């Protein structure tokens, strides 16, 4: 688990492409401290496992699914990347819960200054936007950010970067039209799933990405989702159950209705 607080900007030393995957070697310093083989390092928001290390670099394998869903496949030697080690149990929780499992891709639309801040406009497919809320959290290339504005109708959202974030991450180096990795707030994803309104953006259809000018299919052009087809709902997943679970008698104040935490409720359940 990560928090979206970037520790350093690393540099891609080389990327070796295989038939269905790749191996990344990244030059770094801070994230190598106390790191061992098998540890996790988020690279532009993608959780990668360290498979080898030198005094100033680490290597990690990237599977085909990660290449499809993220922008890692577009990296080249010399590309800057945001790096963060997995959160220590005794560490500060400075950002929000970031799993390192990318939900999809967005595209930088514009950047504009306002005082000491920089506003970024990001386009995203409907399934990503459906799980974004104003003043909620989103990870962009692994950076924990607060959603300042949401315009679902326009297919975009905006965030505002403070000077520290602008200096310590790669976000301002992005040019208009460049791809960024997006991860929705995991709390929101679980809530959507449990309420029956959806599952996880892992079920996004390539059609959703195509509509936003992004990728979402494998190299053969085949649908790479488990759903296999675009959903009619902005949240493209099947509900958990077709009917709501029955309400326990102890919680029901009437015919299947749930009452709030009232004095009557407490008395009926043994509290005086």
Per-residue pLDDT of the chain (272 residues; tens, 9 = 90+): 999 999 999 999 999 999 889 999 999 999 999 999 999 999 999 999 999 999 999 999 999 999 989 999 899 999 999 999 999 888 788 889 999 999 999 999 999 999 999 999 999 999 999 999 999 999 999 999 999 999 999 999 999 999 999 999 999 999 999 999 999 999 989 888 888 754 444 444 445 555 555 554 333 334 333 333 333 445 444 444 444 445 455 444 444 444 455 667 667 766 66
CA-based angle 98:102:105, to the nearest 5?
Answer: 125
Single pTM value for the model: 0.73
Beta bridge partners of 246: none
Residues 6+ apart with CB under 8 A from 205: 216, 223, 225, 227, 229, 230, 231, 236
Among 73, 184, 69, 82, smallest CA distance to 126 is for 184
For residue 58, how many C-alpha atoms fall within 13 Å in the half-sphere facing its CB? 27
pLDDT of residue 88: 85
pLDDT of residue 264: 72
Is the CB of residue 12 less than 8 Å from the CB of residue 59? no
Is the CB of residue 53 less than 8 Å from the CB of residue 60? no
pLDDT of residue 22: 95
pLDDT of residue 154: 94
- Find tokens 């100033």 and name the residue: 56
pLDDT of residue 262: 65
Is 116 buried (19+), middle (13-18) or exposed (0-12) by CB count in 10 A? exposed
């Amino acid at each position: 688990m990560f928090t979206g607080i970037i520790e350093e900007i690393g540099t891609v030393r080389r990327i070796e492409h295989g038939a269905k995957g790749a191996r990344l070697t990244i030059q770094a310093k801070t994230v190598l401290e106390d790191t061992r083989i098998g540890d996790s390092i988020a690279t532009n928001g993608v959780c990668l496992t360290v498979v080898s290390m030198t005094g100033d670099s680490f290597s990690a394998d990237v599977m085909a699914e990660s290449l499809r869903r993220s922008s890692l496949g577009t990296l080249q030697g010399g590309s800057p990347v945001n790096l963060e080690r997995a959160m220590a149990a005794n560490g500060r929780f400075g950002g929000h819960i970031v799993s390192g499992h990318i939900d999809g891709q967005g595209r930088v639309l514009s950047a504009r200054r306002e005082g000491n801040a920089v506003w970024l406009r990001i386009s995203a497919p409907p399934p990503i936007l459906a799980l974004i809320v104003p003043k909620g959290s989103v990870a962009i290339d692994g950076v924990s950010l607060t959603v300042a504005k949401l315009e679902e109708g326009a297919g975009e959202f905006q965030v505002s970067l403070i000077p520290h974030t602008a200096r310590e991450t790669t976000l301002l180096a992005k040019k208009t039209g460049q791809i960024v990795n997006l991860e929705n707030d995991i709390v929101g994803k679980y809530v959507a799933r449990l309420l029956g309104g959806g599952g996880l953006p892992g079920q996004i259809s390539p059609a959703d990405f195509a509509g936003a000018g992004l990728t979402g299919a494998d190299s053969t052009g085949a649908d790479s989702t488990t759903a296999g087809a675009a959903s009619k709902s902005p949240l493209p997943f099947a509900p958990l159950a077709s009917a709501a679970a029955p309400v326990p008698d102890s919680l029901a104040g009437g015919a299947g209705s749930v009452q709030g935490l009232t004095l009557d409720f407490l008395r009926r359940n043994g509290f005086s």
